[in-house]
Amino acid sequence: MAKRPLSDYTQFQRVVSQARSIVALTGAGVSAESGIPVFRGAGGLWRTHRATDLATPTAFRANPALVWEFYHYRRDVAFNSQPNNAHKALAKYEKICKEQGRQFHVITQNVDGLHKRAGSENVLELHGSLDKVICTKCKQIEVNTENPICEALRGRGDPSKRDQDLPIIPLEELPKCSECQALVRPYIVWFGENLDPDVLDRSRQLIESCDLCLVIGTSSVVYPAAMFAPTVVERGKPVAEFNLNEDAFDDAFSFYFSGPCGVTLPKALGIDV
């Protein structure tokens, strides 16, 4: 099969400049350029555990201390990472759209909060956020950026250390709800759980009304996000894909840009970062 040609930046810039409502769907490939580990797929290990096995309600019920160590590590990495040029380009383009009376929204599968830290305001976080917790009893949701989130987790979570190196943290020393003092868990949509219906409904509304969709750093294999871009295609609207791996491109999309998103995205949007 012949290698497909890469899209013309000038042609894309004409399309994006005319779009009245743009949705950017982002995934782990964007955050990877900021040093955020990608846990999905081969090699997605934390210590000796598959990360996907820890991101479940069952795992948290069985061993909340272990799961909290894993998420303390993830919070520490995220909080100490910086938005890259892809995040910055999206935030700057949103501001341009706002000034021009156009709509620009980010729907992200990432939980690291880097879009908001880069300055994006219209962000829907499909899978939750590492800077929030939810009470297992009263269900209160709180923003918590303390690092460590509790003293017992200080110095814990290093993936190079084996589980048996340190004693298990007692339940009473794990993070607590400020309202009722019950155990809290990360505000993350785990495997086997449903997305927040309000976030999902709003995402679907945006997908069904946008006239341009950007797929950035994601293979979109997880439902329902996997259906977002195809829905835009079915409506006859253009989709542009930005991905490191050219082989992963979807033939149904109108534009495709290969390479680091922090390089291709600012160039495509005409943004100086």
Q: Spell out the domain ranges in the chain.
A: 6-36+83-127+194-273, 37-80+130-188
pLDDT in tens, 244-254: 877 667 788 99
CATH topology of domain 37-80+130-188: SIR2/SIRT2 'Small Domain' (3.30.1600)
Same fold, 6-36+83-127+194-273 and 37-80+130-188: no
pLDDT of amino acid 178 = 96
The catalytic residues are: 127
- Cα separation of 69 and 73, whole Å? 6
* Residue-level pLDDT at 66: 95
Residues belonging to the binding site for NAD(+) are 109-112, 217-219, 243-245, 261
- Annotated binding-site residues read 71, 74, 109-112, 135, 138, 177, 180, 217-219, 243-245, 261
Could you read off the pLDDT of 129-154 as tens digits, one per residue?
999 999 999 999 999 999 999 999 99
CATH 3.40.50.1220 at 6-36+83-127+194-273, yes or no? yes
Binding-site residues for substrate: 71, 74
> For position 1, what pLDDT does the model report?
37
Contact predicate 215/240, CB 8 Å: yes
Residue-level pLDDT, tens digit, the chain, 273 residues = 344 557 899 999 999 999 999 999 999 999 999 999 877 655 578 988 888 899 999 999 999 999 999 999 999 999 999 999 999 999 999 999 999 999 999 999 999 999 999 999 999 999 999 999 999 999 999 999 999 999 999 999 988 776 556 889 999 999 999 999 999 999 999 999 999 999 999 999 999 999 999 999 987 666 777 899 999 999 999 999 999 877 667 788 999 999 999 999 999 999 999
